[in-house]
Structure 1
Amino acid sequence: MASTNRHDRQRANLLINKILGSRDEYNYPSFTLLLDTVSQSAKSVIRAIVHRAKHSSGKVIFLNFETHQRRSFEVYDLQDGEDEIILAYTQSVEAWQAQIKAAISRIKKGSRAILLIDSLNEFCHAAGPKVPQILLSWASPSLRIVGVYHTDVQLHESSNPSPYMVSALATLKYISTTTFTCRSLFQTLEELEAQAYSRAKPAFGLDEGVEGVLQSLGSDKTEGMVVEMEHKRKSGNIVSEIYVFPRRSTNDQGKIVTLSEYLETNQVSFKTTASGVAKADDADVGGTMNLGLTEQQRQDREGVVLPHFDAQKGEGGEGGRILYDMGAEDDFDEEEDEI
Structure 2
Amino acid sequence: MAQTNLSHRRTHNLLLISKLLNQRDHASPFTLVLDTLEQTAKPLIREYLRRSRLSKTSTIFLAFETIIKPRDVDHFIECYDESKSPERIAREVMELLARSGSKRHLIIIDSLTTLASISTNPASRLNLTAFLSSLLQPPQQPQRAQQAQEQPQISLVGVYHTDIPLPSSPPSTTSTSYLPSPLSLLSYLATTIITVHSLPILLAEQAARARSLVAPAYGLAEETEGVLIGFKPKRDLKLEERGLVLELEHRRKSGRGVLEWYFLPSTTKAQQPSSGPHAFREIITLLDDHPLFRKPKEDENVDQQLSGMTFELGLTERQRLEREGVVLPYFDAQKAGGGGEGGRILYDMGVEDDFDEEEDEI
Regarding TM over 0.5, the answer is yes
- 1:192 deviates by 2.4
Q: Is the 8 A contact 2:28 2:192 kept in 1?
A: no
RMSD: 2.9
Residue 80 of structure 2: SS of its match in structure 1? helix
Of 103, 106, 109, which residue of structure 1 is paired with 2:96?
Answer: 103
Residues 1:137 and 2:134 aligned together = yes
CA deviation string 1:265-310 (max 9, x = no partner): x7676x9xxxxxxxxxxxxxxxxxxxxxxxxxxxxxxxxxxxxxxx
- 1:248 deviates by 2.9
Residue 290 of structure 2: SS of its match in structure 1? helix
Residues 1:125 and 2:117 aligned together = yes
- 1:153 deviates by 0.6
Of 167, 176, 189, which residue of structure 2 is paired with 1:175?
Answer: 189
Q: Distance in 2 between matches of 1:10 and 1:239?
A: 14
Q: How does 1:103-252 map to 2 (within 5 A)?
A: 103-108=96-101, 111-128=103-120, 130-140=127-137, 142-160=153-171, 162-218=176-232, 223-250=242-269, 252=271
Q: Is the 8 A contact 2:288 2:294 kept in 1?
A: no
Residue 214 of structure 2: SS of its match in structure 1? coil
Q: 5+ unaligned residues in a row in structure 1: which ranges?
A: 272-333
Structure-2 change in CA distance of 1:56 and 1:16 (3 Å): same
- 1:85 deviates by 1.1
Larger Rg: 1
TM-score of the two chains, using structure 2 as the length reference: 0.66
CA deviation string 1:124-160 (max 9, x = no partner): 2234551011111221462111111000011224213
Structure-2 change in CA distance of 1:107 and 1:236 (3 Å): farther
**Percent of counterpart pairs with the same letter?**
35
TM-score of the two chains, using structure 1 as the length reference: 0.70
Q: Distance in 2 between matches of 1:39 and 1:77?
A: 25
Q: Is the 8 A contact 1:64 1:117 kept in 2?
A: yes
Q: 5+ unaligned residues in a row in structure 2: which ranges?
A: 121-125, 138-151, 273-281, 299-350, 355-362
Q: Which moved more, 1:127-136 or 1:175-184?
A: 127-136
Q: How does 1:1-339 map to 2 (within 5 A)?
A: 1-24=2-25, 27=26, 30-68=29-67, 70=68, 73-74=69-70, 76-78=71-73, 83-90=74-81, 91-93=83-85, 94-108=87-101, 111-128=103-120, 130-140=127-137, 142-160=153-171, 162-218=176-232, 223-250=242-269, 252=271, 255-263=283-291, 335=352
Q: Distance in 2 between matches of 1:95 and 1:137?
A: 12
Residue 127 of structure 2: SS of its match in structure 1? helix
Q: Is the 8 A contact 2:38 2:198 kept in 1?
A: yes
The one-letter code matched in structure 2 to 1:58 is: T
Residue 205 of structure 2: SS of its match in structure 1? helix
Q: Distance in 2 between matches of 1:29 and 1:106?
A: 24
Residue 67 of structure 1: SS of its match in structure 2? coil
Q: Distance in 2 between matches of 1:220 and 1:56?
A: 35
Residue 158 of structure 2: SS of its match in structure 1? strand
- 1:336 deviates by 7.8
Q: Which moved more, 1:190-199 or 1:13-22?
A: 190-199
Q: Is the 8 A contact 1:64 1:86 kept in 2?
A: yes
- 1:200 deviates by 1.3
